[in-house]
């Protein structure tokens, strides 16, 4: 996936603001401090990579660009720690954090420095801790300032970003039915499907409380309901320009405003073999962009054929997509994941108690198409959107991670659930999200 490399004109060159020591002959002499850098180095590389909290995957691309600009989201009162290995050849750099704003069409950005942090050396690692004082979700970016007041040129190895918040480890579900819903292939209506969803979620998301599930109908949305007639099947990506139907997120009733919105459509029409879409670490339970997960009752096979899905298939897809929503990668990275996330260093999720499968790569390399569909919807500022989907191949039934919820493909192997490590990440990330 190409970013804006070809069309992006770098108008935000490196700005060096050299500080001047001013001496005031008052009661106290004030001089220059080596611990306070008055130079500001803004992101100067176009922000090609992003990261999110509690992700344990290898992130060499993020590490290599940390000094020049990588971006991430922060939540109100979230406590964060960024760390990497000490490079003994260099003095610890200052970590500068910048609040990033994008123009309306996402082709330009501006930044304002909000933090200038000194490293603490602990067990051979440089650590930088901070608490977000934002009032809402915000995008921040990094730079590292070396002792010469220029971008840090030392090594950044074993990068890690951790976060915990003040919010509860429970959430609600909101099932939003769009268009002319005819039930599932095995006869479940929306009430039956909702009951099966919450029962399955409570069983799989162990240690996390799923309070309740609401059912709402898109045609009754108080703001955009007139755009969603109930007499035709809704094809996400064709019936509407926005395949994620973000305008339906954050249903405007306070009791369910902070619920996780599962938007049920007839099918996702972007490509074949797609069961559901979610953004990786959407981290938004408040409505708008990144607040929805899209599920199809049918799967597109060709331009003229589709498969009607059973309730179990829809529910398993929902559980998988919600895993992405709360920050879980696929257990095994696919070629499409590499392309969408623009990071070719992470072959698996980095979690100790999950397996990964080498044959996923083998399958991809033997095909003419360079991309096997996955189900991560890549939602990034300044980048064209890449959509991926789920499919099945018989040889993948033997993968050691095939029974894990976050295996990237549908197989004949029964799903057993999340690992302990995966549940710990979901729980930590859930506490960061206002709800």
Question: The whole model's pTM is what?
Answer: 0.84
For 159-176, the pLDDT digits (tens) are 999 999 999 989 999 999
Find out if CATH 3.40.390 is the number for domain 170-432: yes
pLDDT at 24: 33
pLDDT at 7: 30
pLDDT at 409: 80
Intervals of the chain under pLDDT 70: 1-37, 105-106, 254-257, 339-340, 361-394
Q: What residues does each domain of the chain span?
A: 1-165, 170-432
Q: How many other β-carbons are positioned within 10 Å of the β-carbon of residue 366?
A: 7
pLDDT at 422: 98
Cα 422 from chain centroid (whole Å): 15
pLDDT at 364: 47
């Amino acid at each position: 996936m190409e970013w804006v490399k070809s069309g992006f004109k770098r108008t935000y060159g490196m700005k060096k603001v050299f500080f001047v020591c001013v001496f005031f002959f008052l009661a106290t002499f004030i001089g220059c401090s080596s611990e306070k850098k008055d130079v500001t180095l803004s992101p100067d590389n176009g922000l090609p990579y992003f990261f999110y909290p509690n992700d344990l995957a290898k992130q060499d691309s993020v590490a290599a660009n940390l000094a020049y600009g990588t971006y991430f989201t922060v939540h109100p009162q979230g406590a964060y720690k960024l760390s990497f290995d000490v490079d003994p050849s260099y003095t610890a750099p200052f970590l500068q954090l910048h609040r990033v704003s994008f123009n309306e069409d996402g082709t330009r950005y501006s930044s304002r420095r909000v933090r200038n942090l000194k490293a603490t050396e602990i067990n051979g690692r440089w650590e930088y801790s901070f608490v977000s004082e934002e009032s809402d979700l915000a995008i921040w970016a990094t730079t590292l300032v070396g002792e010469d007041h220029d971008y840090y040129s030392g090594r950044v190895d074993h990068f890690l970003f951790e976060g915990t918040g003040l919010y509860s480890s429970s959430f609600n579900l909101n099932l939003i039915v769009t268009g002319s819903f005819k039930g599932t292939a095995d006869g479940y209506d929306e009430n039956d499907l909702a009951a099966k969803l919450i029962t399955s979620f409570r069983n799989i998301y162990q240690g996390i409380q799923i309070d309740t599930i609401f059912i709402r109908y898109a045609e009754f949305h108080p703001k955009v309901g007139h755009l969603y007639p109930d007499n035709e099947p809704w094809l996400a990506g064709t019936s509407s320009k926005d395949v994620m139907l973000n305008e339906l997120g954050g249903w405007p009733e306070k009791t369910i405003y902070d619920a996780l919105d599962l938007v049920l459509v007839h099918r996702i029409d972007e490509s074949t073999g797609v069961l559901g879409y979610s953004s990786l670490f959407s981290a938004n339970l408040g409505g708008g962009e990144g607040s929805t997960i899209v599920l199809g009752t049918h799967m597109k096979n060709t331009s003229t054929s589709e498969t009607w899905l059973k309730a179990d298939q829809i529910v398993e897809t929902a559980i998988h997509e919600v895993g992405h929503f709360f920050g879980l990668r696929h257990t095994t990275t696919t070629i499409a994941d590499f392309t969408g996330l623009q990071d070719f260093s992470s072959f698996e999720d980095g979690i100790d108690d999950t397996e990964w499968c080498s044959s996923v790569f083998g399958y991809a390399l033997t095909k003419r198409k360079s991309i096997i569909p996955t189900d991560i919807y890549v939602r990034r500022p300044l980048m064209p959107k890449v959509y991926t989907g789920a499919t099945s191949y018989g040889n993948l039934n033997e993968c050691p991670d095939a029974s894990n919820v976050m295996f990237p493909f549908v197989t004949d192997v029964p799903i057993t659930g999340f690992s302990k490590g995966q549940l710990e990440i979901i729980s930590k990330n859930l506490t960061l999200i206002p709800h």
